Structures are given as C-alpha cells and as structure tokens.
Structure 1
Amino acid sequence: MDRVPEQFHRPIRRPPAAFDNIVGAVDPAEQSRIAHATASALLDRARKDASGETTERLIAFAAEHGIDEIAELWAHSPARSLPGALWRLYLLQLAIRDDGATTALLYERGRVELRTADAVIAGAPAPASPEELVALVDTILRGVFQGDFAIALDRAAAYCRVQASGATHLADDYEASEPQRASDFTRRALRLSGYATDLSDSSAAWRIGALS
C-alpha cells in the first residue's frame, strides 16, 4: 500500500536527454520560473478552448503516459502555487487509477466516520466505487481547466480530508494486529491531510488573485 504514496514525491524515471538540456542545467530560480510559466500557459490554453478538447487531453495525459514529464516540471514547486496545486491534483488522479480499491476503501471509511460536510463538497456517490472516484477526480480536473478554479480546489481538498479520515481510522484498526500496516495508513493520512491544507490555501490565494 505504501508504494503509491512513495511515488508522490519523485519522478518515476529520468527525463529524456533533450529535456535535460532545457531544464537540467538551470538554477532553481529558472526551474521555478519554467514551472510557473508552463502551468499558467496550460491553464490559459485550456480555458480559452471552448470546445473542451484541450481539457480532455490534459485529463487523459497522465492516465495514458504517467506523470514523469509533469513531475519534472512541477514536483518541486511551492505547495501554494499554481504548479504546486496542479501537481497535487495529478497525484490524486494517479492514486485512484493506480490503486482504486485502496482509494475507495479509504474514501468510504472516511465518509462514514467524518462528521463534516467534506463528502458532500467532494461530490462522490455514497458509497463510491473505484470507477466513480476516477470519474470524480476527472470532474474536478475539468473544473480546474474549464470551471471555477477555486471551487475545484476546494472539492479536491475535501476529497483529501475524507480519505485522510479513512486512513486514520484504518490505522487505528490495525494498530494492535498489524503495526506496519497501521504505520503505512498513518503516513498516508498525514500526506493527504497536508495535500488538503495545500489545496485549500491555494484556493484562497486564487480567490484574491495571489496564486501564481
């Protein structure tokens, strides 16, 4: 189970040599500039395409090709930034597509246990199958590229809080019988909670024109 969260922090493979020539030799400030510029350009292009074709290609890209190229551009961006927010959204898409059963288990347990409106805000069915959670994350990404960006980030943050709650309760369940599995769930809960905070902060920054 810990395999997926470990992928959240680093690219899966080395980028091609041509990409090294563009990005690998630059300093951190230039790499940050490139990350912000590409995120802004992608978002702007998708929002200007009324047909929705660009949005659908952006949603499908990670599912078809992985997140290596995205990781090289955005993985090290600040949490409260446009590339940082987009990176976290693609990580959520990766998690549900890579291990739908565990993701759905965490979400359902969190939905039952969490006494907040987060499950309603996220917008998944109750209970939600892995396929329905894939659809939910894709819908959230469509909201980012075509709809209200802040609302999409709020939905993603709520989704993370529900899953974090589920992971926390499962960690408690396994504490006595399977301590290593409990530790895995605890780490995942902490990571998801952190993503929820990052996405909420990015949403608030977007609303006041401070997210770049």
Structure 2
Amino acid sequence: MPRDFHRPTQFPSAAFEAFQGGEDPATVNRIAHESAAALVARVKHDPSPEILDRLVSFSDEHGIDVVAELWARAAPHTLPGALWRIYLVRAVIRQAPDEVTYLFDRGVETSTTIDPIVAGAPTPATPAEVLALADLILRGVFDGDFAVALERGAAFCRLASAGATTVADEQDTIGSDLASTLTRRALRLSELGVDLTACAALWRAGSLD
C-alpha cells in the first residue's frame, strides 16, 4: 500500500535560490571555483574516512546556507555549481525524508527508464534508505567516480520530479491547492536533474571547472 501523502514541507527559499549580496561578482566566482577545485583535489589526494565523514555532514553542522554562500552563485555547469547541487539534493531529502521518499517511490512506479537502477535506492524505499542514499551519493562525489555520483543524483531528482508531477495531477483533480506547489517542486527537481547530468558529461570530457 502506498504511504499517505502529506502536505509538502515549505523549504526555505535559500534551498532553491542563489544568495544575493554586495560582493564583487568576479571575486565571488573566483573564490567559488578555487575552493571547489582545491577541495576535490585535497580529498582525492587523501580520502581519509574522517575527512569524508566531515564533508558529508558539513551542512548538518554548519547549515546549507554556508554551502550556498560559497557555491550557489556559480554557473550551473561548473565544478562549484555541481557541488552546490549535490549538497542541495541531500539537504532537500534530509528536510523532509518521508515526503521525498513518497515522491521518489511514485516516480519509480511510473518510470520506464533505467533511472531506478542508476539512482540505486531499493524500491519501494523507506525514508531511512533514502537518507542513506543521499549520504552515499554525496560521499561518492569525493570518494568515487565523480560523474557516476552526479548521475545518481540526477536520476534521483528525475524520479522524485516524476512522482511530484503524478501527485500534483491527482491533487489537481480534487481542486487541492497543493497541485501548484507540487508542480513547482517537480520543475525544480527536474532542473536539478538536468544540471547534474550536464555536469557529469562535462566531468567525463575533462572540462568541468
């Protein structure tokens, strides 16, 4: 039996929008690119479990806003843009694991692609399994094949987006005001999937910087 659908959590606007500020854009962009490149190179050189654990849990301890300030204003198809989006996917899952798992499972039910296999979550998934997947994907960015980790994140986003669209259609038939909220959620997740897929292709081509 599918789980009952709950009213979507209202994520803070920072979760889907870059921060605005008075800093020089060129300086912000340079810092974003340099910090992203240095971080990835540092971890690849010394992928100790302690460092990886700290990177995965960084936004839990310091807040997703800190990650956003560093990388959210970078262009989508760049290394800092990719890192921001992977951290964002994990943050969205952790803020509402029950809801996101429900949307993911609904997306899997309607999928005709290999996305469920690429994402790597059990089907049907439990919230605990989806939370573990979010950590695994983020960890894979630093301790695995970078492109594969991005592709797994993209597949998850596409499935959750498809699920949100399905539930939005159902809510629309009964005149629920949740339909528009879910439609926006589906669009944002879809956009995340597109960007992560593009970044994965660029990484494989050696041109994601």
Task: With the length of structure 2 as denominator, give the TM-score of the two structures.
Answer: 0.91
1:89 aligns with 2:96: no
What is the alpha-carbon distance in structure 1 between the residues aligned to residue 82 and residue 65 of structure 2? 17
1:102 aligns with 2:109: no
Q: CA deviation at 1:159?
A: 0.6
1:134 aligns with 2:135: no
Q: Percent identity?
A: 47
**Aligned AA for 1:139?**
L
Q: How does 1:40-189 map to 2 (within 5 A)?
A: 40-189=37-186
Q: CA deviation at 1:5?
A: 6.5
What is the alpha-carbon distance in structure 2 between the residues aligned to residue 56 and residue 142 of structure 1? 8
Deviation readout 1:1-39 (Å, 9 max, x if unpaired): 262273323479x9xxxxxxxxx6641011100001111
The residue that corresponds to 1:191 in the other structure is: 188
**Aligned AA for 2:14?**
Q
Q: Which moved more, 1:66-75 or 1:1-10?
A: 1-10
Q: Which of 7, 16, 26 is equivalent to 2:14?
A: 7
Q: How does 1:25-40 map to 2 (within 5 A)?
A: 26-40=23-37
What is the alpha-carbon distance in structure 1 between the residues aligned to residue 127 and residue 187 of structure 2? 22
**Aligned AA for 1:54?**
I
What is the alpha-carbon distance in structure 1 between the residues aligned to residue 18 and residue 54 of structure 2? 21
Given that 2:119 and 2:153 are in contact with CA atoms closer than 8 Å, whether structure 1 keeps it comes out as: yes
Q: Structure 2 unaligned segments of length 5 or more: list them.
A: 1-7
Given that 2:59 and 2:66 are in contact with CA atoms closer than 8 Å, whether structure 1 keeps it comes out as: no
SS of 2:188's partner is helix
Given that 1:45 and 1:54 are in contact with CA atoms closer than 8 Å, whether structure 2 keeps it comes out as: no
**Aligned AA for 2:169?**
D
SS of 1:105's partner is helix
What is the alpha-carbon distance in structure 1 between the residues aligned to residue 150 and residue 110 of structure 2? 22
What is the alpha-carbon distance in structure 1 between the residues aligned to residue 180 and residue 22 of structure 2? 38
Given that 1:52 and 1:146 are in contact with CA atoms closer than 8 Å, whether structure 2 keeps it comes out as: no
SS of 2:122's partner is coil
**Aligned AA for 1:70?**
V
Task: With the length of structure 1 as denominator, give the TM-score of the two structures.
Answer: 0.90
Deviation readout 1:31-76 (Å, 9 max, x if unpaired): 1000011111111111112323211100011122211211111111
What is the alpha-carbon distance in structure 1 between the residues aligned to residue 30 and residue 150 of structure 2? 22
The residue that corresponds to 1:20 in the other structure is: none
Q: Which moved more, 1:101-110 or 1:63-72?
A: 63-72
Q: CA RMSD in A?
A: 1.8
What is the alpha-carbon distance in structure 1 between the residues aligned to residue 16 and residue 181 of structure 2? 16
